[in-house]
Amino acid sequence: MIYLKTEDEIEALRKANQLVAATLAEIAKIVQPGVTTREMDTLAEHFIRDNGAVPSFKGCPNPFGPAFPASICTSVNDTIVHGIPEDKPLKKGDIVSVDCGVLLEGFCGDSCYTFCVGEVKAEIKQLLSVTKESLYKGIEQAIVGNRLGDIGCAVQHHVQQYGYGVVRQYAGHGIGKKMHEDPMVPNYGTAGTGLAISNGLCIAIEPMITEGKASSYLLPDRWSVKTRDGKSAAHYEHTIAIHHGKADILSSFEEVEQIERTKH
């Protein structure tokens, strides 16, 4: 069941997603060698609650194991998604994907950004920039007149030029009063196929892209998903609304990128 959103609902989603953007910016300020992902999680949880929202990932049920124990997912290097914050300090050259979700006044925000920890290798920088570009290539296709397959096709086409892998087991999704609504928004597909995109559709687009092969495995914690070949993975996510025929990005990387520019 797909719920198309009204103007008021889109504004409520924007508010929730702007809080996610501000939370990611708070995290950006502390990402550096020596910091732990647990410290990032504590900061995020306090910031989200201080702003009147709830971290929606915390306690997220898992049919195969324990509920998610933290407020953000922190996926380091070869962890693709759903990494659990821990006490191990990050080192120079690591990358960490920070996925953040909030519930604010009944509406969800969801966005993810992959950070560099100090200086990283040129080939990893390229993986990050190409993955981020693929997110925007997908967003460009999210217009009335197109179909969902156009989004996935654009993401896939962009990253495959570099020999990167597209993770297929995990996908973007509809978003609204619930974090995960219909439709599913895969990061691969055939142009011109799938659901017709219409005004009021609100979705999270989130390419998860691997430096090597896309095949993955689940850790015994039943959450963390890693690449089988041990190569790195990147993950960027925006929540968007189709509004007046085109994509309106409700989350934002603006503040995060401003902070990143002062570091690198």
- Which CB, 119 or 254, lies closer to Mg ion? 254
Q: Give, rounded to a whole angstrom, the gap between the first and last alpha carbons of the chain.
A: 44
DSSP string, 13-60: HHHHHHHHHHHHHHHHHH-STT-BHHHHHHHHHHHHHHTT-EETTTT-
* Minimum CB distance to Mg ion smaller for 94 or for 237: 237
Smallest separation, CB 262 to Mg ion (Å): 25
Cα–Cα dist 155/167, whole Å: 11
d(CA 64, CA 74): 20
Question: What is the Cα–Cα distance from 111 to 18, expressed in whole angstroms?
Answer: 10
For 259, the enclosing helix (H) or strand (E) is: helix 254-263
Task: Pick the closer one to Mg ion by CB: 99 or 150.
Answer: 99
45 vs 237, beta carbon nearer Mg ion: 237
Output the CA torsion sign for 18, 20, 21, 23: positive
Q: Which element (helix H / strand E) includes 178?
A: none
Q: Which residues bind Mg ion (CB under 5 A)?
A: 99, 110, 112, 204, 237
Preceding amide of 183 cis, omega within 30: yes
Q: How far is the CB of 119 from Mg ion (least distance, A)?
A: 27
Least distance in angstroms from the C-beta of 183 to Mg ion: 13
Choice between 12 and 204, CB closer to Mg ion: 204
- In the complex, what is the shortest distance from the CB of residue 237 to Mg ion, in angstroms, rounded to a whole number? 5
Token digits of residue 136: 């925007």
CB of residue 179 to Mg ion, shortest distance in Å: 7
For Mg ion, which is the closer residue by CB, 60 or 162?
60
Q: Which residues pair with 165 in a beta bridge?
A: 210
Q: Tell me how far, at minimum, the Cβ of 185 lies from Mg ion, in Å.
A: 9
